[in-house]
Amino acid sequence: MLDTLEIPPGAHAAGDLSPRLGRGRIAPLASRLYYLDPSLPPLAVRAPATGQLVGQVSRGSAADVREAVGRGRKAQEAWAHRTLTERAEIFIRFHDLLLDRQDEVLDLIQLESGKARKHAFEEVADTAIVAVYYAENAGRHLAPKRRKGALPGLTVAWEHHHPRGVVAIISPWNYPLSLAATDAIPALMAGNAVILKPDRQTPFTALWVAELLAEAGLPPGLFQVIPGEGAELGTPLIESCDFLTFTGSTETGRIVGRQAGERLIGHTLELGGKNPMLVLADADAGAAIEGAVRGCFSSAGQLCISIERLFLHESLYHAFLDRFVRETRALRLGASFEYDVDMGCLISEAHLAKVEEHVRDAVTKGAEVLAGGRPRPDLGPTFYEPTILTGVTPGMKLFAEETFGPVVAVYSFDSVHDAIERANASRYGLNASVWTRDLELGHRVAARLQCGTVNVNEAYAAAWASVDAPMGGFKDSGLGRRHGAEGILKYTNSQTIAIQRGLPLAAPAGVTDEIFSRAMSLTLKVLRRVPGLR
């Protein structure tokens, strides 16, 4: 019964958050907004850990979107002519300011999302890594490149990349710093302006990013934040921008993709996941258990690349599961602005209800709860215990649907082939994890998994933090990639310039088309047989 629950050692009930409101400088952040119609009702932002009002921000309208895009276009014209070195200097300063002032944004992230501080810090680290990466590598990705021409010695081809113009980013609530800033940074480094629509529940973190970019030297109009409802602002953004980046649910992503397709504008979609973790017979069980705890319960499971399906080899199933349950039950839950809790709360009461419904449906149909499975109103209105279930089968919502909470279903397997087949039996394909001491085997297994990123002997952070490599999903987990070369080239229009010297690629004067065709055929045969000419 809920009324008999006790706060375990190390858990923190949520208290008054107002002392942090001053340190987070909530009110001044609204000065980063531009609005045509201040009469629109403001958005109230509440801390999910307590329900306490964090603050209010003005609500954007379709007219605000159009005006912001117009401002962005004017600013982008001058920005596109800045050298890459000049742009990079701004993001190096942003990196340094971010690390120096991280306590401010850690407070904001926790206030708005309810996550534990160590999970909020993952966002700071991620944003800093991405800022430096693109500051140092944008030139390598964007510089004009010599390409092989049609006819060696006669055709010279070059590849150029030009900014698209105004990029719209629709970012989610679960990573309000990381997914607001790390998509914007490569777009800006590529010479674009950015219009950011953060989730209505987490606008202050996005406004703080705008403030820090301005302090780092980013010119006005290049990074604008428009808070509001997605249903009201999504269509105007898509109708006005030159490229769109969306992170959110697969269902909403389909709608966004259709609208972007109608305008024939480029877009990337990072969507849902039902991510598997495979623990092979020879795995280091201790390391894998620690990885499973992090992979399943970081940010209270509200992480697109977190683990929701855990596959254990039958030889270690019982011993692994017993210890995994003990480690999970020992996690410290609560609301704290210090590094003394392991897991925070869910984003809203509506999301809590969805997580509860998934677990209740599974239990009603025969699944067994080994840990958790209960809300924790004694800690705050949206806390839910980290939960482990067995006996989850097809027909249960938890089996195939994304729960997006601190809930994992555990299964056993008897062969690697069986584990791979079951892991791939999902409409999603975002992230996966494989644990084994045999790294060559781990690589082979990873390559057979139908996921955009696969971590060997790590849950999610290794692939995510390897920002020189692309990150994105297969199947219903999305389109396009962030990070690496793809993460910045998507924000450009590629252009080929080919210069023909000497003979034209057509029959010259006095030569019949038949003779020219035979000569060209002979040339093509020679080119195929001479290494290096093609």
- Supply the DSSP string of 328-395, one letter for each residue: HHTPPBB--SSS--SB---S-HHHHHHHHHHHHHHHHTT-EEEE--SB-TTT-TT-B--EEEE---TT
Task: Say what the pLDDT of residue 30 is.
Answer: 58
**What is the rounded CA–CA span in Å between residue 482 and residue 489?**
10
| Residue 103 φ/ψ region, left for φ over 0, alpha for ψ in the -120 to 50 degree band, beta for the rest | alpha
Task: Say what the pLDDT of residue 469 is.
Answer: 98
What average pLDDT score do residues 348-363 get? Answer: 98
CA atoms within 13 A on the CB side of 511: 15
Q: Is the pLDDT of residue 4 over 50?
A: no
Task: Say what the pLDDT of residue 272 is.
Answer: 97
Q: Is the pLDDT of residue 12 over 60?
A: no
Task: Say what the pLDDT of residue 5 is.
Answer: 27
Per-residue b/e over 426-453, b at no fewer than 16 CB within 10 Å?
bebbbbbbbbbeeeeebeebbeebbbbb
Cβ atoms 157, 147 nearer than 8 A: yes
Q: Is the pLDDT of residue 410 over 90?
A: yes
Give the pLDDT band of residue 530 (cuts 50, 70, 90): confident
Give the pLDDT band of residue 390 (cuts 50, 70, 90): very high
**Three-class SS of residue 508?**
coil
**Three-class SS of residue 492?**
strand
Could you report the per-residue pLDDT of 261-299, keeping only the tens digit for each?
A: 999 999 999 999 999 999 999 999 999 999 999 999 999
Could you report the per-residue pLDDT of 469-527, keeping only the tens digit for each?
A: 999 999 999 999 999 999 999 999 999 999 999 888 898 889 999 999 999 899 889 88
What the block records as the tokens of 40 is 């629109």
Residues with a catalytic annotation lie at 270, 304
Cβ atoms 197, 176 nearer than 8 A: no
| Lowest mean pLDDT segment, chosen from 20-29, 142-151, 208-217 | 20-29
Contacts of 518 (CB under 8 A, 6+ apart): none
Give the closest residue to 5 by CA, choosing from 380, 389, 403: 380
Q: Is the pLDDT of residue 20 over 90?
A: no
pTM, whole model, 2 decimals? 0.94
Q: Given this chain, do its domains 14-26+49-271 and 275-476 carry the same CATH topology?
A: no
In degrees and rounded to multiples of 5, residue 333 shows phi and psi of -100, 150
- 464: Cα separation from own chain's centroid: 9
**What is the rounded CA–CA span in Å between residue 510 and residue 513?**
10
**What is the rounded CA–CA span in Å between residue 80 and residue 94?**
19
What average pLDDT score do residues 437-445 get? Answer: 98
Task: Say what the pLDDT of residue 531 is.
Answer: 73
Distances from the Cα of 463 to the Cα of 165, 207, 327, 493, angstroms: 30, 28, 25, 27
Which amino acid is located at 257 in the chain? G
| Residue 475 φ/ψ region, left for φ over 0, alpha for ψ in the -120 to 50 degree band, beta for the rest | left
Which amino acid is located at 357 in the chain? E
**What is the rounded CA–CA span in Å between residue 251 and residue 430?**
15
What average pLDDT score do residues 173-192 get? Answer: 98
**What is the rounded CA–CA span in Å between residue 306 and residue 454?**
12
Distances from the Cα of 121 to the Cα of 64, 102, 107, 110, 126, angstroms: 33, 8, 10, 10, 8
Task: Say what the pLDDT of residue 293 is.
Answer: 98
**Which residue in the block uniquely carries the two structure tokens 């039902």?**
274
Give the pLDDT band of residue 440 (cuts 50, 70, 90): very high
CA atoms within 13 A on the CB side of 5: 19
Q: How does strand 243-247 pair with strand 223-225?
A: unpaired
CATH: 2.120.10.30, 3.40.50.1820, 3.40.605.10, 2.30.30.40. Which one for 14-26+49-271? 3.40.605.10
Output the CATH code of domain 275-476: 3.40.309.10
Q: Is the pLDDT of residue 409 over 50?
A: yes
Beta-bridge mates of residue 245? 169, 268
Q: Is the pLDDT of residue 9 over 60?
A: no
What average pLDDT score do residues 461-469 get? Answer: 98
Q: Is the pLDDT of residue 169 over 80?
A: yes
What average pLDDT score do residues 413-429 get? Answer: 98
Task: Say what the pLDDT of residue 132 is.
Answer: 98
**Three-class SS of residue 134?**
helix
What average pLDDT score do residues 245-254 get? Answer: 97
Q: How does strand 166-170 pair with strand 193-197?
A: parallel
Mean of per-residue pLDDT scores for the chain:
93
Q: How deeply is 366 buried, as exposed, middle or buried, from its count of CB atoms within 10 A (0-12, 13-18, 19+)? A: exposed
Residue ranges per structural domain of the chain = 14-26+49-271, 275-476, 507-534
Could you report the per-residue pLDDT of 146-162, keeping only the tens digit for each?
A: 999 988 889 999 999 99
More confidently predicted of 3 and 143: 143
**What is the rounded CA–CA span in Å between residue 346 and residue 387?**
13
Task: Say what the pLDDT of residue 528 is.
Answer: 83
**Three-class SS of residue 494?**
strand
Task: Say what the pLDDT of residue 443 is.
Answer: 98
Task: Say what the pLDDT of residue 209 is.
Answer: 97
Cβ atoms 322, 357 nearer than 8 A: no
**What is the rounded CA–CA span in Å between residue 302 and residue 199?**
14
Could you report the per-residue pLDDT of 50-99, keeping only the tens digit for each?
A: 999 988 888 999 999 999 999 999 999 999 999 999 999 999 999 999 99
Q: Calculate the dihedral angle through the C-alpha atoms of 107, 271, 137, 498, rounding to the nearest 10 degrees.
A: -150
**What is the rounded CA–CA span in Å between residue 89 and residue 216?**
9
Give the pLDDT band of residue 460 (cuts 50, 70, 90): very high
Could you report the per-residue pLDDT of 89-107, keeping only the tens digit for each?
A: 999 999 999 999 999 999 9
**Three-class SS of residue 271?**
coil
Residue 424, Cβ neighbours under 10 Å: how many? Answer: 16
Q: Is the pLDDT of residue 18 over 90?
A: no
| Lowest mean pLDDT segment, chosen from 185-199, 225-239, 381-395, 506-520 | 506-520
Could you report the per-residue pLDDT of 302-333, keeping only the tens digit for each?
A: 999 999 999 999 999 999 999 999 999 999 99
Residue 34, Cβ neighbours under 10 Å: how many? Answer: 15
